[in-house]
Amino acid sequence: MKNPPHLLQRDLAHATDYATWREIALELDHREGHDVWRAEDACDGYDHWLIKERLLELRRMRRDNDVRRLVFRLHEGLHGNLGNMANPALYAYCRVGTKRLITEYVEEVSKALIWICDTEFDDFGYEEKILFFKRTGVSFGRSALMLSGGATLGMFHFGVIKALHEQGLLPRVISGSSAGSIVAGGVATRTDEEIARTYDLETLNLDAWQKLDFRTAVKGRALMNPDVLARCLESNIGDNTFEEAFEHTGRILDITVSPAERHQHGRLLNYLTSPNVLIFKASQASCSVPGLFPPVTLKAREYEGDVVDYMPSKRWVDGSLSSDLPMLRLARLHNVNHYIVSQTNPHVVPFLAKDTATGLLPFARDWVMSSGKQTIDLARMHFRNRGFGRVVRQLHALTNQRYTGDVTILPRYTPKKMMRALANPTMEEMKRYVEDGERATWPTIERVRIQTEISRTFEECLIRLKAQRFGRRRDDAPMRVSRS
């Protein structure tokens, strides 16, 4: 006898891995008739005629071995939101996936790209392949994972990373602000095999918070010991520079820092803009919330290998103040146009919670946010003294940011977690943060898989083609294209 729906809902909430969660979610979708919606092409949310036309056209060209016409069509016709197929409403109906037509179209594009990459053609050679994949890949864009601030609450990001990594969906581009920089730094300095080993939480140093005595705190205008934070970050991240981490893992790490002085702007640190800066010092600066930790001078490795001050006269603080999610700069530097956000900032998450999507609460939320922004904008215009003016500028920066992405993953906070936001997590608390992050990510997995499959295929085809240039066998660079 099949379990009744309420028991399936219970099992879904207590699933211990994604495979189990997905199986139960699919069964619930079936019982509730969502399979019918998924199988029907027509829907007001997207242009199904356009998607179907393109799908049939691509299949015909590949079947006819018409590579030049196929390349021409892909080069001018690929778009991540073709016919509005990235519409969030299309992923809100079912627990798993979306319209079958969208899934089939994405899969056909990936198959076509692999076919072009792996097949030898008399009239379409290696150099033409490279040119096609580079140009069309740049035009299509890529995804980034963005990890917000949130103090100890940001340990939720570990579970998000784990869920995406286990499904082969972890983007190469990862940004982190404040607490998010700790997790991003640890991931971006490790290969896939090394990341898997970090799931053993016993290997992590969790001692980041240590209060200073009263006299030292007053003298330094900070409550927490920066040396303890620095040791914690170095033990978890290592002493790699941004460039060294990129060369070791191929991952592109970005960390935001905010200026401690006037007339400076927030910076996005990465292997292009600051290749020789030490990652753990960048993370320390990004974690230095004013009043809790003092501003930080960055460190860099010189040509001879010595570690020196980087921009010695400048100090930096919490990256969330100026740019929690640096979307525009990621787009400019790394060709990113699709953003997966893990958002844990306690001043943001309550306004984004899913259970406030209807009724009076969203109206109250929008009114509070709008009124707050107007008040801060007015104060910014009239208060310019050095002390209060700096506070107003920081509040202005906080309230005038975007805190969500194309896919946004949110935790559910309890008063106990909020009370522990500025405390070192215990091992049991870390396990719960990881479990919460995984469970919050599972409902987004198929959406992420579908929306990133084409860009992942572009990247992997280029890796294979470059491997061919240097005389490696195809098997040395195996193609991995996921199927929903």
Q: Cite the active site residues.
A: 178, 318
The phi and psi torsions of 300 (rounded to 5 degrees) equal -140, 155
Cα 477 from Cα 120, distance rounded (Å): 17
3-state SS string over 166-199?
HCCCCCCEEEEECHHHHHHHHHHCCCHHHHHHCC
What's the sign of the alpha-carbon dihedral 377, 369, 441, 458?
negative
264-267: Cβ within 8 A, 24+ apart: 264/314, 265/322, 266/319, 266/321, 266/322, 266/323, 267/316
Q: Which two tokens stand for residue 34?
A: 């969502």
Cα 132 from Cα 113, distance rounded (Å): 10
The phi and psi torsions of 14 (rounded to 5 degrees) equal -110, 15
Cα 316 from Cα 265, distance rounded (Å): 10
Q: Going by C-beta distance under 8 Å and a sequence separation of 6 or more, which residues neighbour residue 414?
A: none
Cα 252 from Cα 420, distance rounded (Å): 31
Q: How many beta carbons lie within 10 A of that of residue 431, not counting itself?
A: 14
Torsion of CA 275, 280, 283, 285, to 10 degrees: -90
Cα 29 from Cα 427, distance rounded (Å): 36
| Amino acid making up residue 133 | F
